[in-house]
């Protein structure tokens, strides 16, 4: 075996042309496999990191509280790696503050280090000992006399209503009182940016829990991190049973799983399948198999040429006693040595390629709000997987020709150079000959003879072209359809205030008096429902199928007892906004402020796509007149436990909206002054109070001023509210985000296409070079019978053109089908599409394919043109 190793090593050094060819192929394969591994791992690692930052580093939680004396059964459980504990709720009464209570819990050291709440600290420090607390930002905003470092001695006790204790974390109740049970001193050490919605009667606060001071009667919430999280769906219910929790009516314990994090680890409940994870894994496995399979074909061709070039020598060795196994081993050993030689370079190239792609994507998306950069992550698992997958690719590639060479009898292998090669009858290409002359016919014949060896290159370049041109066409069609279907936007910034109380007048004045605001609308809205019959359908709606033709699974239209329940958005406008709206629709606003039945404007308009049409139309939904009455219901979903209903009167019917109300298709909007709105929603159930009291402020500021106005709005609201109490939508940001996402996707698609394109282009260089070198005797014969250097150039250029055209010709029908399918989904005609057809971009990619192929022929043919005719005809191919 040592002799075979020395022989193999000697041939690698001697046959530099084949060695370099195989090395380049293996290097590209290793680089692309490494790059794909890094892509997938980096995205996964970033997702895990952001999920832990968002939700905390825990696997399971006992949602129902346990008593303090049961905690030891969890901490001493060998399956539990760590616990994060929150103590009992405590209500402390404040004096001379906007809200009467501090609503707080203590948490242990592990909670502050491993859970996500620490990320909300905006000032000061986290509590490190008992008595230290961090309070919500809203506490300091509402009560500027307090500051970090203050000591508070507060009465603690229970919220009471009708001599019954109210839970600390319940919404505020009219008529509730406070019953003192003791006092406690706290030191404020930090500020938390946590939700402080006005539905709660107090400010959120968190303190430090010393686990040694936990009392047996304390009610604890426990989060757990498991040694083996894959057993969590069996272990956590067992722990819940062991600590004394009881099952609910569905036979389940009050436990919660950090499913976002567990799913990323590939862990899910046996009763449910993580479809998204399965799809991602399937795509990843498919990509790896495609790349490995493609490179097996490429490297196999290179190894075949190398092994065929020394088949005579191997046959001589076989005649001297070498076994077929040793012959096979020689070829495999060659592959292994070359794989070892390129491995560090392949890994470095793969890492560099990944870094460049991620840097580009991060650079594009980093200006988006809340975007988390994807950092290039490496681990031993990634390196090992890359190394193993590239080794398998190389060994499989070498094994196929190794097995063939090992089966060749020694006598035939020794005589191979004297064998007569039978050539099939050449197919005449008369049309090509008539157009391009004899050179064209020779080029077509040569390309036809090599089509099997060029199959991988053609397929790879076809896939590359389909990916690029298909994506460009899809984006062009999508953007054009989006521009056709865009609704007229009256306002380009919307500020949503998720509060229960009336917003501060001072804050509203600061917002509405912004100099950039050209128009503004202050509104509140909540979903209600009403029942209509088919007789009330408008004529145009009835002709196109009416409510019977509406997909109830897609839209909130429910048929009950011959009637249809549809959504009605109840909208309350501020006085100034409502008066301006009445002027816009040409009606008198005073009639809407009269006592009695609430009167409002019915927005009787919806978007509808008629049958056998793809054009979205705005139509009247109902045939309803001014002065009619309508019965509205609070209940809009079957699971809502309410029977509240109320009569309203329609003062006017219009199709003009005061703003973008976000109404769904086949629904109405009923617009009333804010006073009437508040009167109606005052009878709503407590669960819907927060929804109905949210305030939205729509502003028209223009594209140029939009970023500056959003910054000002954030500063104004931050001075009065917590960050979770408001959010800002911007039309400009939405457009920019859409463009950025498209650019990022384009880079990702281009990267994948580049991977596949490299396979095709390198294969083209390799095959063309080897074919021309193997047929240099034939070229010499053609030159000897009168083929001029100019004719030879023409022949090679035409062969290159035939080669370059083939992947494009193959791709055109596929791209055509993609465009046809996309156009079927939209209202765009072929004539309209041709106006936005991205011909320039596709032409550039086509030219790149032509240039790559022609360059491969140009480089490969230089030696043939320079060869002496007589010497080329005499020499055997080495």
> Could you tell me which residue, 235 or 295, shows the higher pLDDT?
235
- Looking at the fold, whether 527 and 651 belong to one and the same domain comes out as yes
Question: How confident is the model at residue 670, as a pLDDT?
Answer: 93
Task: Give the residue-averaged pLDDT of 736-759.
Answer: 69
Task: Give the residue-averaged pLDDT of 538-563.
Answer: 79
Kindly report the number of other CB atoms within 10 A of residue 728's CB atom. 18
Residue 78's pLDDT band, with cuts at 50, 70 and 90, is very high
pLDDT above 60 (res 132): yes
Phi, psi of 842, rounded to the nearest 5 degrees: -65, -35
Task: Give the residue-averaged pLDDT of 177-181.
Answer: 90
Q: Which of 155, 187, 213 is the last residue of a domain?
A: 213
Is the distance from CB of 130 to CB of 106 less than 8 angstroms? yes
> Could you tell me which residue, 397 or 125, shows the higher pLDDT?
125
Question: How confident is the model at residue 102, as a pLDDT?
Answer: 92
- Looking at the fold, whether 758 and 672 belong to one and the same domain comes out as no
Question: How confident is the model at residue 249, as a pLDDT?
Answer: 62
Q: Determine the structural domain holding residue 448 and report its residue range.
A: 434-488+729-878
pLDDT above 50 (res 515): yes
> Could you tell me which residue, 874 or 339, shows the higher pLDDT?
339
Kindly report the number of other CB atoms within 10 A of residue 58's CB atom. 24
Residue 804's pLDDT band, with cuts at 50, 70 and 90, is confident
Domain membership of residue 800 (yes or no) is: yes
Residue 777 burial class via C-beta count within 10 angstroms: exposed 0-12, middle 13-18, buried 19 and up: middle
Domain membership of residue 260 (yes or no) is: no
- Looking at the fold, whether 581 and 633 belong to one and the same domain comes out as yes
Domain membership of residue 288 (yes or no) is: yes
Q: Which of 213, 228, 263 is the last residue of a domain?
A: 213
- Choose the most confident range, by mean pLDDT, from 87-91, 405-409, 501-505, 781-785: 87-91
- Looking at the fold, whether 532 and 669 belong to one and the same domain comes out as yes
**Closest C-alpha among 459, 300, 347, 298 to residue 33:** 347
Domain membership of residue 241 (yes or no) is: no
- Looking at the fold, whether 181 and 36 belong to one and the same domain comes out as no
Question: How confident is the model at residue 226, as a pLDDT?
Answer: 94
pLDDT above 90 (res 500): no
Q: List, for residues 389-416, the tens digit of each pLDDT value.
A: 889 988 888 887 777 776 666 666 565 5
**Closest C-alpha among 57, 222, 82, 204 to residue 140:** 204
Q: In whole numbers, what is the pLDDT of the chain averaged over residues?
A: 79
Q: List, for residues 614-671, the tens digit of each pLDDT value.
A: 566 778 888 888 888 889 988 887 767 777 888 888 999 998 888 888 777 888 999 9
Residue 446's pLDDT band, with cuts at 50, 70 and 90, is low
Q: Which of 166, 183, 213 is the last residue of a domain?
A: 213
Task: Give the residue-averaged pLDDT of 74-79.
Answer: 91
> Could you tell me which residue, 74 or 306, shows the higher pLDDT?
74
Question: How confident is the model at residue 872, as a pLDDT?
Answer: 47
pLDDT above 80 (res 499): no
DSSP percent split of the chain into helix, strand, coil, nearest 5:
55, 20, 30
- Looking at the fold, whether 441 and 532 belong to one and the same domain comes out as no
- Looking at the fold, whether 347 and 399 belong to one and the same domain comes out as yes
- Looking at the fold, whether 528 and 626 belong to one and the same domain comes out as yes
Segment among 100-109, 244-253, 755-764 with least mean pLDDT: 755-764
728-731: Cβ within 8 A, 24+ apart: 728/493, 728/494, 728/495, 728/496, 729/493, 729/494, 729/496, 730/492, 730/493, 730/706, 731/489, 731/492, 731/493, 731/706
Task: Give the residue-averaged pLDDT of 187-206.
Answer: 82
Question: How confident is the model at residue 612, as a pLDDT?
Answer: 63
- Looking at the fold, whether 150 and 31 belong to one and the same domain comes out as no
Segment among 92-101, 122-131, 622-631, 713-722 with least mean pLDDT: 713-722
Q: Which residue has the tokens 């006073």?
A: 675
Segment among 99-108, 505-514, 815-824 with least mean pLDDT: 815-824
- Looking at the fold, whether 387 and 449 belong to one and the same domain comes out as no
- Looking at the fold, whether 672 and 523 belong to one and the same domain comes out as yes
Q: How many CA atoms lie within 13 A of 217 on its CB side?
A: 0
> What is the domain count for the chain?
4
Question: How confident is the model at residue 153, as a pLDDT?
Answer: 93
Domain membership of residue 292 (yes or no) is: yes
Segment among 217-221, 536-540, 750-754 with least mean pLDDT: 750-754
Kindly report the number of other CB atoms within 10 A of residue 506's CB atom. 11
Is the distance from CB of 574 to CB of 522 less than 8 angstroms? yes
Domain membership of residue 255 (yes or no) is: no
Domain membership of residue 672 (yes or no) is: yes
Domain membership of residue 466 (yes or no) is: yes
Residue 601's pLDDT band, with cuts at 50, 70 and 90, is very high
- Looking at the fold, whether 412 and 442 belong to one and the same domain comes out as no
Q: List, for residues 304-322, the tens digit of each pLDDT value.
A: 766 666 666 667 766 666 6
Rounded distance, CA 354 to CA 369, Å? 24
Is the distance from CB of 505 to CB of 713 less than 8 angstroms? no
Question: How confident is the model at residue 361, as a pLDDT?
Answer: 73
Question: How confident is the model at residue 30, as a pLDDT?
Answer: 86
Q: List, for residues 697-712, the tens digit of each pLDDT value.
A: 999 988 888 889 988 9
Residue 363's pLDDT band, with cuts at 50, 70 and 90, is confident
């Amino acid at each position: 075996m040592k002799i075979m190793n020395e022989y193999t090593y000697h041939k690698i050094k001697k046959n530099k042309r084949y060695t370099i060819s195989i090395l380049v192929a293996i290097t590209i394969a290793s680089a692309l496999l490494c790059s794909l591994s890094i892509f997938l791992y980096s995205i996964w690692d970033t997702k895990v990191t952001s999920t832990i930052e968002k939700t905390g580093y825990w696997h399971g939680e006992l949602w129902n509280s346990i008593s303090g004396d049961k905690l030891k059964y969890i901490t001493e459980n060998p399956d539990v790696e760590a616990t994060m504990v929150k103590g009992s709720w405590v209500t402390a009464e404040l004096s001379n503050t906007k809200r009467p209570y501090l609503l707080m819990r203590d948490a242990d050291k592990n909670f502050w280090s491993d859970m996500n709440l620490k990320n909300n600290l905006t000032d000061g420090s986290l509590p490190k000992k008992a008595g230290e607390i961090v309070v919500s930002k809203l506490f300091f905003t509402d009560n500027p006399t307090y500051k970090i470092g203050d000591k508070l001695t507060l009465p603690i006790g229970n919220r009471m209503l009708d001599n019954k204790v109210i839970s600390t974390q319940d919404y505020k109740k009219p008529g509730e009182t406070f019953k003192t049970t003791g006092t406690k001193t706290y030191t404020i050490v930090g500020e938390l940016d946590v939700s402080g919605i006005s539905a709660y009667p107090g400010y959120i606060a968190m303190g430090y829990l010393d686990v040694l001071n936990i009392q047996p009667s304390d009610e604890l919430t426990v989060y757990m991190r498991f040694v083996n999280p894959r057993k969590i769906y069996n272990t956590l219910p067992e722990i819940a049973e062991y600590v004394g929790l009881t099952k609910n009516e569905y036979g389940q314990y009050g436990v919660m799983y950090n499913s976002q994090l567990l799913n990323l680890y590939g862990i899910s409940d046996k009763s449910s399948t993580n479809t998204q994870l399965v799809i991602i894994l399937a795509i990843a496995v498919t990509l790896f198999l495609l790349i490995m399979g493609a490179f097996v074909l490429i490297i196999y061709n290179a190894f075949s040429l190398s092994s065929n070039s020394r088949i005579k020598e191997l046959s001589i060795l076989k005649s001297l006693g070498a076994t077929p196994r040793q012959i096979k081993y020689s070829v495999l050993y060659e592959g292994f040595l070359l794989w070892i030689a390129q491995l560090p370079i392949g890994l470095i190239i793969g890492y560099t390629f990944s870094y460049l792609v991620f840097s580009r994507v991060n650079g594009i998306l980093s200006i988006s709000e809340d975007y988390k950069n994807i950092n290039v992550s490496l681990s031993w698992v990634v390196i090992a997987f890359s190394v193993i997958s590239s080794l398998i690719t190389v060994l499989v590639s070498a094994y196929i020709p190794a097995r063939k060479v090992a089966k060749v009898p020694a006598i035939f292998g020794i005589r191979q150079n004297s064998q007569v090669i039978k050539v099939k009858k050449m197919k005449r290409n008369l049309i090509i000959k008539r157009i391009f002359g004899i050179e064209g016919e020779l080029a077509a014949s040569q390309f036809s003879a090599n089509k099997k060896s060029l199959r991988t290159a053609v397929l790879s370049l076809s896939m590359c072209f389909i990916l690029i041109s298909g994506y460009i066409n899809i984006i062009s069609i999508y953007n054009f359809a989006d521009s056709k279907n865009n609704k007229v936007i009256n306002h380009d910034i919307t500020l949503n205030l998720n509060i229960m109380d009336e917003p501060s007048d001072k804050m509203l004045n600061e917002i509405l008096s912004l100099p950039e605001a050209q128009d503004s609308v202050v509104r509140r809205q909540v979903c209600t429902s009403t029942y209509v019959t088919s007789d009330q359908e408008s004529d145009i709606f009835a002709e196109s199928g009416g409510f019977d033709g509406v997909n109830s699974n897609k839209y909130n239209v429910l048929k009950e007892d011959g009637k249809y329940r549809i959504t009605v958005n109840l909208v309350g406008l501020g006085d100034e906004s409502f008066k301006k709206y009445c002027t816009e629709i040409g009606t008198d606003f005073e009639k809407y402020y009269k006592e009695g039945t609430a009167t409002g404007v019915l927005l009787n308009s919806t978007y509808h796509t008629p049958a056998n049409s793809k054009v979205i139309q705005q139509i009247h939904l109902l045939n309803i007149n001014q002065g009619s009455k309508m019965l509205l219901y609070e209940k809009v979903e079957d699971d809502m436990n309410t029977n509240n209903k109320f009569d309203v009167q329609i003062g006017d019917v219009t199709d003009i909206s005061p703003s973008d109300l976000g109404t769904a298709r086949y629904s109405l909007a009923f617009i009333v002054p804010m006073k009437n709105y508040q009167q109606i929603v005052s009878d709503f159930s407590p669960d819907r109070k927060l929804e109905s009291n949210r305030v939205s402020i729509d502003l028209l500021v223009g594209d140029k001023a939009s970023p500056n106005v959003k910054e000002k709005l954030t500063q104004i609201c931050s001075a009065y509210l917590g960050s979770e109490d408001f959010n800002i939508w911007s039309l400009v940001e939405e457009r920019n985000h859409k463009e950025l996402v498209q650019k990022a996707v384009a880079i990702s698609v281009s990267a994948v296409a580049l991977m596949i394109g490299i396979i095709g282009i390198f294969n083209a260089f390799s095959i063309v070079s080897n074919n021309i070198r193997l047929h240099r005797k034939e070229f010499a014969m053609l030159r000897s019978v009168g083929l001029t250097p100019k004719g030879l150039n023409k022949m090679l250029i035409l062969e290159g053109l035939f080669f370059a055209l083939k992947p494009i010709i193959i791709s055109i029908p596929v791209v055509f089908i993609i465009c046809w399918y996309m156009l079927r989904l939209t209202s765009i005609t072929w004539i309209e599409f041709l106006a936005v057809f991205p011909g320039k971009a596709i032409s550039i990619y086509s030219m790149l394919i032509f240039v790559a192929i022609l360059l491969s022929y140009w480089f490969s043919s230089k030696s043939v043109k320079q060869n002496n005719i007589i010497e080329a005809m005499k020499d055997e191919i080495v």
